[in-house]
Copies of this chain bind each other. A is one copy, B any other.
């Protein structure tokens, strides 16, 4: 669990997109964000107060979160002096980039001197159990997709927000590095050893109050041959009561695999239910989340209407419309 509040480090991000992790934290957990630290040439701006390490520390910042990525997704040499300064000032450092904080000798030495911690959120931080498939109290909703990167994380975060606003008990459960940085904890499922995948999700989503919902972040797709095993471990470890189908209507092939077409929403529904019923016979598909970012407003409305009529389920773009209808459809 990362300590809050955060100083969000944007580095020399060449454009706003390069700081999308920081933007996600600010969008979904604004209460954790004390300020931002930008180096010379940074073209991203979250609209938070700009602080130096010393200023942020004086205001109580506990963790510097690396919220930007450069080409290659690694920690840049240009950033190192600032990270070392933050560690020496007593802040923990968290990163989801490919090269590990713990592989940088100067940073490791600084953290050791000051007694602070380095969190590489891509690296499993726990010895997970082997899954046992036992039913656990509490409710669980899992977002599954016709493909990777169709808005599963966004959908789960938007549903958590809508549920909390409605006074419901809800917790987003992160299963990827961006989600982990946003919420401060989670399981980096794609880096977990095969035998422990399902168990790691059981651990992530433990027994809870009967009216509490876990919104579990989906990964991959049952139809994506590179990562389908990860998705099935998530379905069987997560034991969802409710499934939300996620889709991007303009995509012509599976992400990274031009030789694979996308399944229909009907195919996704049938295969997901067939696998999910093994661990929870009462599981239901409760709604559809369509990422209409590539469509104009009229097209988007028409697309959602068509999907809703065809699938006989609420079809929503949570970015345009919020997730309230997906939450209502959980029928609680």
Chain A residues at the B interface, C-beta cutoff of 8 Å? 130-134, 189-195, 197-199, 222-223, 225-234, 236-237, 254, 256-257, 259-260, 263, 270-271, 274-275, 278-279
Contacts and interface: CB of A to CB of B under 8 A. Distances in A.
A236 to B, nearest CB: 4
A226 B271 contact: no
Given A191-B194, A194-B191, A279-B225, A132 B236 contact: no
Contact of A190 (B195, B231, B260, B278): B195
20 contacts: A131-B225, A132-B257, A133-B226, A191-B193, A191-B194, A193-B194, A194-B230, A195-B230, A197-B229, A197-B230, A198-B227, A198-B229, A222-B275, A223-B278, A225-B237, A228-B232, A229-B231, A232-B232, A270-B274, A271-B274
A259 B134 contact: yes
A53 to B, nearest CB: 34
A194 B195 contact: no
B233 A132 contact: no
A236 B254 CA distance: 14
A152 B228 CA distance: 22
A87 B237 CA distance: 43
Contacts of A228: 198, 232-233, 236, 275, 278
A223 B230 CA distance: 15
Given A191-B194, A259-B133, A199 B222 contact: no
Nearest to A260: B133
Nearest to A201: B229
Given A191-B193, A198-B228, A222-B278, 9 more contacts: A132-B225, A133-B225, A133-B257, A193-B193, A195-B226, A228-B236, A229-B230, A270-B274, A274-B274
